[in-house]
Structure 1
Amino acid sequence: MPSLVEDFSYPGAAAIKQSRDIELIKGDGRITLVDCTDNPALIRVESLLRTDFCFAVKDDTGWLSLRLDGVFFIHSGDQKVAAKVAANGVEETINIRENSLEPVGVGDPDFGVLLELRATPPA
């Protein structure tokens, strides 16, 4: 009988990594990768190495552990977002107000590596 214990693994992560070159590791299911549209509510991550990636947030909060290289901007959409990034050999958390744009990895020739997104309700 299969276990009923949730391990929070992202469903279909291997296929997404192969087709879109983004590693989605774990999450609570409230932040999901979606196709980018003109919807300003989405979290949008801009990468030099690939196309933009967009994330929808269900409910008011959520978290997603991932790995995306070459990130240079994160747009928060309608959420406050805490983004854990690695740049210049240092991991840090960048807090982004709702409907804001924040640069990532400034001064690093490889730009930043996005490691985690956490969404909280807007103020």
Structure 2
Amino acid sequence: MKARSTTASRTERLLGRTLGAAAAAGALAWLVTAGGQAGPPAAEQVTSARAVADEAPGYAVETFDYPQADEILQEQGIALKRGDGHITLATCATGTGQLEIYSRVNQKVCFRVTGATGWLTLEVASVYGVQTPGYATDLDMTVDAEEKSYEVPANSWQAVGQSADPEGRPHMLVEIRTSK
């Protein structure tokens, strides 16, 4: 009998605690939904929420602008404008499979190419040649008021711009597109 009464008293205590906790939670819920005087009226709460929402930062919108383009223009004289991030300016290093653009003004400008496709708008003056990595590369250039395009196969060197022009005019590289 003693074992039974001990088990019964434990069960009663557990039941009592559970009911007490439930009653407290119910009272708290009633206060919140009944609009107890613990906070401002519901209309003021909505107004406050709107004010905070209006002050929140806006959505991030990708503009595809090249990061730190102003610094690169000042330091290297290369105007990097917009791109998809798959063609990025790199420090030239032999044997790295970089896209190399040869310019009479900037000498050699190198780009790291990743992904299946890529694009970059930029301005590199007096371009005369290109060495492509494992990507077919299309170059758009301007000379005077004309636009010229060059298709360069993957893993090749090709004369473009000033070297390919019968008059030897300086060409501005304005866009690079790559594909595997």
TM over 0.5: yes
**Residue 120 of structure 2 corresponds to residue 61 of structure 1:** no
Unaligned runs of 5+ in 1: none
**Residue 173 of structure 2 corresponds to residue 117 of structure 1:** no
Structure 1 residue 21: deviation in Å?
0.3
Deviates more, 1:79-88 or 1:60-69: 79-88
Looking at both structures, which has the greater relative contact order when contacts are Cα pairs under 8 Å and sequence separation is at least 6?
1
In the aligned structure 2, how far is the partner of 1:118 from the partner of 1:49?
Answer: 22
Output aligned runs, 1:15-30, within 5 Å.
Answer: 15-30=71-86
- Match of 1:72? 128
Output aligned runs, 1:1-123, within 5 Å.
Answer: 1-39=57-95, 41-87=97-143, 89-105=145-161, 106-121=165-180
Letter in 1 for 2:63: D
Distance 1:108 1:5, change over 3 A: farther
Deviates more, 1:25-34 or 1:110-119: 110-119
Deviates more, 1:41-50 or 1:97-106: 97-106
How big is each residue's C-alpha offset from its partner over 1:27-74, in whole Å with a ceiling of 9 and x where there is no partner? Answer: 001100001111252110001112210001111211000001011001
Letter in 1 for 2:83: G
TM-score normalised per structure 2: 0.63
Q: Return the structure number with greater helix share.
A: 2
In the aligned structure 2, how far is the partner of 1:113 from the partner of 1:65?
Answer: 11
In the aligned structure 1, how far is the partner of 2:63 from the partner of 2:160?
Answer: 30
Question: Are the equivalent residues in 2 in contact too, given 1:82–1:118 (CA < 8 A)?
Answer: yes
Structure 1 residue 109: deviation in Å?
4.3
Q: Which runs of at least 4 in structure 1 moved beyond 4 Å after TM superposition?
A: none
Q: Return the structure number with greater strand share.
A: 1
Question: Are the equivalent residues in 2 in contact too, given 1:41–1:79 (CA < 8 A)?
Answer: no
In the aligned structure 1, how far is the partner of 2:102 from the partner of 2:167?
Answer: 15
